[in-house]
């Protein structure tokens, strides 16, 4: 292999695509050539990378010749169609869609959690690796180091999810609706069926026959796969709030063995990819704004769950925030690629 790698970004003009360009530009990834790919709608546009304009090329079956790493963040159907083609052409694919996450034999990876899952994959020799759902990543970066010390038995999660999770168009719609409402005009609802500005609503993915939406079940199933442990019990409710680009999550944990605040604090302070923000005196805890454009997941409200006092089960509360576009998407994918260097 050459000392530099040829990289392609599929979906280069989207919100995550933009973040791929930012992150690759700032990290020491040994890029040779870089190729910006998108659908017909965006092909021909110019995007910036490392301060220089790059023309976006049309994604075709021939796009991946000579590409070592292909970072996909388009739709699930684009990934389903083109990721195998890219892999066959010798590109190693890190896919941000949900297309392959639950496919047997495809690693689903959070580098801080299960780096061993990429064993046997080499950049430039094909293969597909799936990037987990943003809410799953943001939860598992702080929860896993605790789980490694004392097994988590059950998790109850409520999310506060940002607009960016639904893409650049959703962010633009939140902004436009907010302007309209402040001007006394009716809000335009294109991307979501209901008003988003100054409102919130349960995640708009389909509801299954048990009443869970797809986003919630991603948190359950992806955690089971990433931890290689289907015994951990999880219930989640996923809610979109009018915030731009970082998710928050309220996480209630149950452990079979004792796990208290003091031990949790110690573990989290040493955990990779985690910053503790837990100032009780000044009432400063993680916020989406503080997490925005940061690599780390912020964690606070670390406390013993008083509803577990005197019980066999040990309980711990956490409140976490993480940049949905960065660690929730583009950064995690680039870190996966870095594992393969």
Rounded Cα distance between 192 and 120, Å, is 41
Residue showing tokens 């870089």: 34
Please pick, among 134, 147, 203, 238, the residue that the annotation labels catalytic. 134
How many other C-beta atoms can be found within 10 angstroms of the C-beta atom of residue 61? 12
Min. distance of Cβ 25 from a second copy in angstroms?
A: 24
The stretches of 193-305 forming alpha helices (DSSP H) are 214-226, 261-270, 288-291
Stretch that binds a second copy, among 34-42, 113-121, 135-143, 208-216 (CB under 8 A): 208-216
Q: Does 306 bind a second copy (CB under 8 A)?
A: yes
Q: Does 287 bind a second copy (CB under 8 A)?
A: yes
Rounded Cα distance between 38 and 200, Å, is 31
Burial of 304 (0-12, 13-18, 19+ CB in 10 A): middle
Rounded Cα distance between 132 and 137, Å, is 6
Q: Does 214 bind a second copy (CB under 8 A)?
A: no
Q: Does 338 bind a second copy (CB under 8 A)?
A: no
Identify the residue among 75, 81, 151, 213 touching a second copy (CB under 8 A): 213
Q: Has 321 been annotated as catalytic?
A: no
Q: Are 249 and 324 contacting, i.e. CB atoms less than 8 angstroms apart?
A: no
72: Cβ contacts below 8 Å, ≥ 6 apart: 10, 11, 78, 79, 82, 83, 86, 93, 94, 95, 96, 97
Nearer to a second copy, 39 or 213 (CB): 213
Q: Which of 10, 21, 126, 26 lies closest to 68, judged by CA?
A: 126
Q: Does 299 bind a second copy (CB under 8 A)?
A: no
Q: Has 247 been annotated as catalytic?
A: yes
Min. distance of Cβ 280 from a second copy in angstroms?
A: 4
Q: Does 227 bind a second copy (CB under 8 A)?
A: no
Pattern of binders to a second copy over 252-281, x per CB under 8 A? x--------x------------------xx
Identify the residue among 212, 326, 337, 340 touching a second copy (CB under 8 A): 212
Rounded Cα distance between 33 and 146, Å, is 40
User: What residues pair up with 247 in beta bridges, in sequence order?
Assistant: 322
Q: Which residues are catalytic?
A: 134, 247
User: Which residues of the shown chain bind a second copy in the complex (CB under 8 A)?
Assistant: 154-156, 158, 160, 175, 178-179, 182, 193-195, 198-202, 204-207, 210-213, 220, 233-235, 237, 239, 241-244, 248, 250, 252, 261, 280-281, 283, 285, 287-289, 300-309, 315, 317, 319
């Amino acid at each position: 292999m050459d000392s530099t790698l040829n990289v392609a970004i599929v979906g280069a003009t989207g919100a995550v695509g933009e973040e791929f360009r930012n992150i690759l530009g700032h990290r020491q990834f040994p890029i040779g050539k870089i190729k910006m790919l998108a659908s017909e709608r965006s092909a021909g546009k110019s995007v910036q990378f490392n301060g220089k304009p790059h023309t976006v090329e049309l994604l075709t079956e021939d796009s991946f010749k000579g590409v070592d790493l292909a970072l996909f963040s388009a739709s699930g159907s684009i990934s389903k169609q083109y990721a195998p083609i890219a892999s066959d052409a010798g590109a190693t694919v890190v896919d941000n869609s949900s297309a392959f996450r639950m496919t047997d034999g495809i690693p689903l990876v959070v580098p801080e959690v299960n780096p061993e899952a990429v064993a046997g994959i080499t950049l430039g020799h094909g293969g597909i690796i799936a990037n987990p759902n943003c809410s799953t990543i943001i939860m598992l970066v702080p929860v896993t180091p605790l789980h490694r010390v004392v097994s988590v038995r059950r998790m109850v999660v409520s999310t506060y999810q940002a607009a960016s999770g639904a893409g650049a168009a959703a962010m633009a719609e939140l902004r436009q609706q907010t302007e309209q409402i402040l001007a006394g005009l009716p809000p335009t609802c294109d991307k979501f069926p209901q008003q988003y500005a100054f409102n919130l609503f349960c995640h708009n993915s389909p509801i299954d026959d048990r009443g869970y939406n797809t986003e919630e079940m991603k948190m359950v199933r992806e955690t089971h796969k990433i931890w290689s442990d289907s015994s951990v019990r999880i219930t989640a409710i996923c809610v979109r709030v009018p915030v731009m680009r970082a998710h928050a999550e309220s996480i209630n944990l149950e452990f079979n063995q004792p796990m208290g605040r003091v031990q949790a604090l110690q573990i989290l302070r040493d955990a990779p990819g985690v910053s503790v923000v837990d100032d009780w005196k000044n009432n400063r805890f993680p916020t989406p704004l503080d997490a925005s454009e940061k690599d780390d997941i912020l964690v606070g409200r670390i406390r013993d769950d008083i509803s577990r006092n005197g019980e066999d089960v040990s309980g711990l509360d956490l409140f976490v925030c993480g940049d949905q576009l960065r660690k929730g998407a583009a950064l995690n994918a680039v870190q996966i690629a870095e594992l393969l260097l």
